[in-house]
């Protein structure tokens, strides 16, 4: 392997430590930062995710409230819970774990979360703020990827970044953040005819697809930074990303592993957004 590893576990630990210091500072002023996590239904992956989010929160000294509901919960009842949390001054961040059962309109739920508590950064107001360069909550996964670049001292300025994937939660906000940081950005998707022709030009590649081996060694410029957002299972049922790690790590300059790369950074950035929300609320209360 020639590429250097970008260690998401180590970086997220550092970030969690910084959040814990900010939590302690707010507590000293009599404010207990609080995150509410809502889980509707029994999706096994979602149950694991919310468990981690709650534990992460408590690890920094923040309060977390986990609300679990039956899969039959009505949309109206869920919207009423979100509105109640919007009005609760002890809650600074609200996260509704996705996916929701099919009878609930996830967009409607997200748009009901107060933008000031939208710590996932999925609200249309947060997306709009990102688009026009106004302050707002950034979606945790692309925010974490930007922190990874910062940690290795690679500025996107003047570089060509290729983002593979255009979802509202990863690909599009990733591209916007890279653009804001003055990269020249190309967004690829399932309709891109020759993905390799694009990625071979890239100084930075972010793969956010959800398919194994979307990026192979022959598609990477020597020395490029490769960030693998994908979460898939290989033939041995082990977690793997979108990138052929064994091959690409022979060509890239930097690479994120899966697991231990973007995943822990996503969790850490949720904490950053939550403490940010609590600090803003505290500043407004003065």
Residue 165 sits in the site that holds ligand NAP (CB under 6 A): yes
Residue 255 sits in the site that holds ligand NAP (CB under 6 A): no
Q: What x/- string results for residues 211 through 230 when contact with ligand NAP is judged by CB under 6 A?
A: x--x--------------xx
Q: How far is the CB of 142 from ligand NAP (least distance, A)?
A: 9
Residue 100 sits in the site that holds ligand NAP (CB under 6 A): no
Report which of 216, 244, 226 is spatially closest to residue 152, judged by C-alpha positions.
226
Cα 161–chain centre separation: 18
**Dist CA 136 CA 130 (whole Å):** 7
Helices 124-132 and 171-180: crossing angle in degrees, nearest 10, is 30
Q: Dihedral, CA atoms, 143, 202, 220, 192, nearest 10 degrees? A: 90
Please identify which of the residues 56, 118, 120, 244 carries the catalytic annotation.
120
**Which listed range, 32-40, 66-74, 124-132, 262-270, lies at the site for ligand NAP (CB under 6 A)?**
262-270
Q: How far is the CB of 128 from ligand NAP (least distance, A)?
A: 19
Q: Which residues, in sequence order, are bridge partners of residue 94? A: 36
Question: Applying CB under 6 A, which of residues 166, 176, 269, 273 lies at the interface with ligand NAP?
Answer: 166
For ligand NAP, the closer of residues 117 and 166 by Cβ is 166
Residue 205 sits in the site that holds ligand NAP (CB under 6 A): no
For ligand NAP, the closer of residues 112 and 141 by Cβ is 141
- 166-169 CB contacts, 8 Å cutoff, 24+ apart: 167/208, 168/122, 168/127, 169/122, 169/139, 169/141
# binding residues, ligand NAP (CB under 6 A): 26
For ligand NAP, the closer of residues 86 and 151 by Cβ is 151
Contacts with ligand NAP by CB under 6 A lie at: 141, 164-167, 169-171, 188-192, 195, 208-211, 214, 229-232, 262-263, 266
């Amino acid at each position: 392997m020639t590429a250097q590893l970008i260690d998401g576990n180590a970086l997220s630990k550092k970030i969690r430590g910084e959040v814990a210091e900010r939590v302690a500072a707010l507590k000293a002023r009599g404010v207990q930062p609080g995150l509410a996590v809502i889980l509707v239904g029994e999706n096994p992956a979602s149950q694991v995710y919310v468990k981690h989010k709650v534990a992460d929160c408590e690890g920094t000294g923040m309060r977390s409230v986990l609300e679990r509901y039956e899969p039959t919960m009505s949309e109206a009842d869920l919207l009423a819970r979100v509105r109640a949390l919007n009005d609760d001054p002890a809650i600074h961040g609200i996260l509704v774990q996705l996916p929701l059962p099919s009878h609930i309109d996830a967009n409607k739920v997200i748009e009901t979360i107060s933008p000031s508590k939208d710590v996932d950064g999925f609200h249309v107001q947060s997306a709009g703020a990102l688009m026009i360069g106004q302050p707002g909550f950034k979606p945790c996964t692309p925010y974490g990827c930007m922190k990874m670049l910062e940690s290795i001292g690679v500025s996107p300025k003047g570089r060509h970044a290729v983002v593979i994937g255009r979802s509202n939660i990863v690909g599009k906000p990733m591209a916007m953040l890279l653009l804001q940081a003055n990269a020249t950005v190309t967004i690829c998707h399932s309709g891109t005819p020759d993905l390799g022709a694009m990625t071979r030009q890239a100084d930075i590649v972010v793969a956010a697809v959800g398919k194994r081996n979307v990026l192979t060694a022959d598609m990477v410029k020597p020395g490029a930074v490769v960030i693998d957002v994908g979460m898939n299972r290989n033939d041995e049922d082990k977690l793997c990303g979108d990138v052929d790690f064994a091959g690409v790590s022979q060509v890239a300059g930097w690479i994120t592993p899966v697991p231990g790369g973007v995943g822990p950074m996503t969790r850490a950035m949720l904490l950053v957004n939550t403490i940010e929300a609590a600090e803003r609320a505290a500043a407004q209360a003065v």
